Structure 1
């Protein structure tokens, strides 16, 4: 990541940590939005490249999570609100709610929120890049 920032002539600091047993690399600094891209698409691609680089060095797959400019933390909060809103609709109307297509990271955030609430359940359906979550009343 440091090499990429140098090539792009971006100023950013890199923090490495472990969260929930998962390696996390955070790039912090100003004017990093281009590394996030529209709805995090560039960030997802950079994360995949970082995982491939780790695999090439170690021979083992990595669950590395890359965050740039706090995007994932902010997005996690937005997705929690989306999940709670879907749960409210399901509880109010008793009908399943289909959410917009999301990345694997986004779907996990929504599943985590929904799974913590009694009376509802969630599952993913469809195929990438149109994979989405359906929130429904629990059986």
Structure 2
């Protein structure tokens, strides 16, 4: 599949299956219980790990989830030969991060209300920047990403 071809639902489901197998292996090695759910959302495979196990809660730290997501993407790429944009959620970490990003956007909106012409947010992943763009649009703010690589960040302005 080329970079310009949208992945099919079948392809994304296969990515999810490969990711789930990889994650099950990691959880087994760490002796952590977890239930995996697979889904396809917004053109991406989405894998969610849920459990009441306290050890799983320790894995739900955003930096840890990001690292595990990258490892899982590499495992999927090794199997398929293609770049994966799958999303990993551990113990509701994605919803927690969305709430944190909403707080950042609200703080930026307050700066704009106080007279600032723009408000820059810290660097974040492409997935998080997409969430920021969505949150900003919900609040009638203009958003644009600037920078390269790990320093890429979002700048907000009033519409």
Q: Give distance in 1, aligned partners of 2:126 and 2:83.
A: 17
Match for residue 114 of structure 1?
Answer: 136
Is contact 1:84–1:113 with CA below 8 Å preserved after alignment? no
Match for residue 125 of structure 1?
Answer: 146
For residue 77 of structure 2, give the secondary structure of its aligned residue in structure 1. helix
Match for residue 71 of structure 2?
Answer: 49
Q: 1:6 aligns with which of 28, 34, 40?
A: 28
Q: How does 1:1-139 map to 2 (within 5 A)?
A: 1-29=23-51, 30-31=53-54, 32-37=56-61, 40-118=62-140, 120-138=141-159
Q: What's the offset of the Cα at 1:12?
A: 1.0
May I ask how many residue pairs the two structures share in their alignment? 135
Q: What's the offset of the Cα at 1:99?
A: 1.7
Q: What's the offset of the Cα at 1:27?
A: 0.8
User: What stretches of structure 1 of length at least 5 have no aligned partner?
Assistant: none
Report the TM-score, using the length of structure 1 for normalisation: 0.83
Task: Compare the two structures and name the one with the higher helix fraction.
Answer: 2
> CA-atom RMSD, angstroms?
1.9
Q: Give distance in 1, aligned partners of 2:84 and 2:102.
A: 26
Q: What's the offset of the Cα at 1:15?
A: 1.0
Which segment drifts farther, 83-92 or 47-56?
83-92
User: What stretches of structure 2 of length at least 5 have no aligned partner?
Assistant: 1-22
Is contact 2:69–2:88 with CA below 8 Å preserved after alignment? yes
Report the TM-score, using the length of structure 2 for normalisation: 0.74
Is contact 2:60–2:92 with CA below 8 Å preserved after alignment? no
Q: What's the offset of the Cα at 1:94?
A: 4.2
Q: Give distance in 2, aligned partners of 1:48 and 1:14.
A: 17
